[in-house]
Chain A
Amino acid sequence: MLKWLLGVWMTATIVMAFVYAPEMIRPNYATGEDEAWPSFRIVFFHVPAAWISVLGFAVSMVASVAVLRRRTRRRDDLAMASAQLGFLFCALALISGMIWARNDWGAFWNWDPRQTSVMILLLIYAGYFALRSSIDEPDRRARLAAVFSIVAFVTVPFLVFVVPRIMFSLHPSPIIEAGPEKGSMDAKMRVVFYMALAGFTALYVWLLRLRMHLEASTRVLRAS
C-alpha cells in the first residue's frame, strides 16, 4: 500500500515541479535585465538525489561501526545496501548536474570543484565495492569493508560541503532560503522541493529494504 502511495506522491511531485512551481527569474548582470531560468527546475531532482547520497553513505558508515562492534550478516547487508544506494544517487546527482551544466555552462564537464569532488567521492566508493568483491570469506569481507566504509565517509563532508566552498566554483550558491532577492525559491517552489525531498527519502527506505531482502534471499538460495 505504501509503495503505491509513494508512486502517486512522486508522480505528483514531478508534475508539480513542471506545472505548479513558477518559473525562476534571475538577474542577468551582462544585460542588466531579468531573465527566465527554465533549467532551474532540475533542482527539484538534483538536490534530493545529492541528499540521499549523503544519507546513504552516512547510514553505511553507522552500520559499519555496528559491524565492527558485533558482526552480523544483517548489519553487513545494511552497510553494503546503503553504500550502493548512496553510490547510485550520487551518480544520479552528478548526471543531473552535468545535464544542467550543459545548459548553463555550455559543457557537460567543466572540472568545476563541485563536479570533481563528487567524481572523486564516486571513485572512493567504487573502491569499497571492489574491495567487497575481492574477498570471498564473509567475516573478513565484512570487517575490512566496514573499516573502508568508515574511512570513506570521513571524506564525504570534506568533498561535498568543504571543497566547493573553499574553492572558486560556478555551482549556484544556496537558493532554498526564502528571500526577496531574485534567484531564491519562493513558497510554491519550496513546497515542491520539500515534497521531492520527502519522496526521495521514502524511495531510499523502500530500495534499502528491497536490497536487503534480495541479499538475504540470495544467501538462502545459495545455501540450499
Chain B
Amino acid sequence: MNDLYVVLITVVVIWLGVFVYLVSLDRKVSRLSRGGKRDAS
C-alpha cells in the first residue's frame, strides 16, 4: 500500500511541475503574440 502512495506522490509532483511550466510558457507566448500584433499594427 505504501508503494502505491509513493507512486501517487511522484506522479502528482511530475504533473504539477509540467503544469506550472506550461502555464508560464502560455503567459510568455501570450505576451509575445500581443507584442507581435502591436508591432504589426
Contacts and interface: CB of A to CB of B under 8 A. Distances in A.
A14 B18 CA distance: 14
Q: Mostly helix, strand, loop or mixed at chain B's interface? A: helix
B40 to A, nearest CB: 7
A220 B36 contact: yes
B8 A216 contact: no
Interface size class for chain A?
20 to 34
Contact of A213 (B3, B7, B23, B33): B33
Contact of A224 (B4, B5, B19, B39): B39
A18 B3 CA distance: 11
Nearest to B3: A38
A10 B15 contact: yes
Interface in B1-41: 3-5, 7-8, 11-12, 15-16, 19, 22-23, 25-26, 29-30, 32-33, 36, 39-40
Interface of A: 3, 7, 10-11, 14-15, 18-19, 38, 45, 206-207, 210, 213-214, 216-217, 220-221, 224
